[in-house]
Amino acid sequence: MGIRLNWTSRAQVLALLILLTGATMFAASSIYDFVLPSIDGKPLPLSGFKGKVILIVNVASRCGYTPQYSALESIYEKYKDQGFVILGFPANNFGGQEPGTNAEIKTFCSTKYNVTFPIYSKVSVKGDDQTPLYGYLTAQANPSFAGDIKWNFTKFLVDRRGKVVERFEPATTPDSPEVIAAIEKYLKQ
């Protein structure tokens, strides 16, 4: 015994299938398509940073690169009035170097390094539980900069239109000549 659908029911089923298929095939066109929770748990859409040059960094509190927080804060202070922002994404993917809660991470950042740039809630930057933003950054955003995150403090530079234009590996410090030159280049555009 089969189920008979009238025209209205068929149209509703078809509309639902189209909606579900479209949702699963969503492809971001820029970083502005993502909304993640801030370190305080409130939604913080990346679209709120439209028109700014953005440095996206996966951070950790117990890493050999953790002192880069000082340089990050310094360049943020230097360029923020010119339309520059840094977005920190704590991640515990490498050696358990970010084990704390969001509250602990926030306290660490503000008391140890006086961080004032936006920090998001802890995410995963690789693996089966990789946050969609990092899936986008490492696979879709720009083929020139594709590839897994290798360690904490990998940096992606995004231009004012939301396009990933540079990638810097962890050993490249935020205040290195190549990072500063790239930031200044895209601030002028």
Strand order in the sheet with 84-90: 84-90, 53-59, 155-158, 164-168
Distance, in Å, from the CA atom of 36 to the CA atom of 120, rounded to the nearest integer, reads 7
Q: How confident is the model over 111-121, as pLDDT tens digits? A: 999 999 999 99
Q: What does the pLDDT read at residue 1?
A: 52
Residue 119 is assigned to a structural domain of this protein: yes
Average pLDDT across the chain, whole number: 90
Q: What does the pLDDT read at residue 24?
A: 37
Distance, in Å, from the CA atom of 25 to the CA atom of 78, rounded to the nearest integer, reads 40
Give the bridge partners for 157, in sequence order.
55, 166
Distance, in Å, from the CA atom of 87 to the CA atom of 49, rounded to the nearest integer, reads 10
Tell me the catalytic residues. Answer: 63
Q: How confident is the model over 153-174, as pLDDT tens digits? A: 999 999 999 999 999 999 999 9
Residue 10 is assigned to a structural domain of this protein: no
CB atoms within 10 A of CB 53: 24
Q: What does the pLDDT read at residue 108?
A: 97
Residues near 25 by Cβ (< 8 Å), separated by ≥ 6?
A: none
Q: What does the pLDDT read at residue 10?
A: 52
Distance, in Å, from the CA atom of 4 to the CA atom of 10, rounded to the nearest integer, reads 9
Residue 50 is assigned to a structural domain of this protein: yes
Domain that holds residue 54: 27-187
CA 83, 92, 62, 156 dihedral sign is: negative
Through-space distance between the first and last CA atoms of the chain, rounded to whole angstroms: 66
Query: At 3, which amino acid appears?
Result: I
Residue with tokens 């929770």: 37
Distance, in Å, from the CA atom of 105 to the CA atom of 86, rounded to the nearest integer, reads 16
Quote the number of domains for the chain.
1
Residue 152 is assigned to a structural domain of this protein: yes
Helices (H), the chain: 7-24, 68-79, 102-113, 132-135, 177-187
Residues (pLDDT < 50) of the chain are 11, 13-25
**Which tokens in the block code for residue 66?**
């953790």
Residue 109 is assigned to a structural domain of this protein: yes
Q: Name the 3-class secondary structure at 85.
A: strand
Residue 12 is assigned to a structural domain of this protein: no
Residue 118 is assigned to a structural domain of this protein: yes
Q: List the CATH number of the domain containing 109.
A: 3.40.30.10
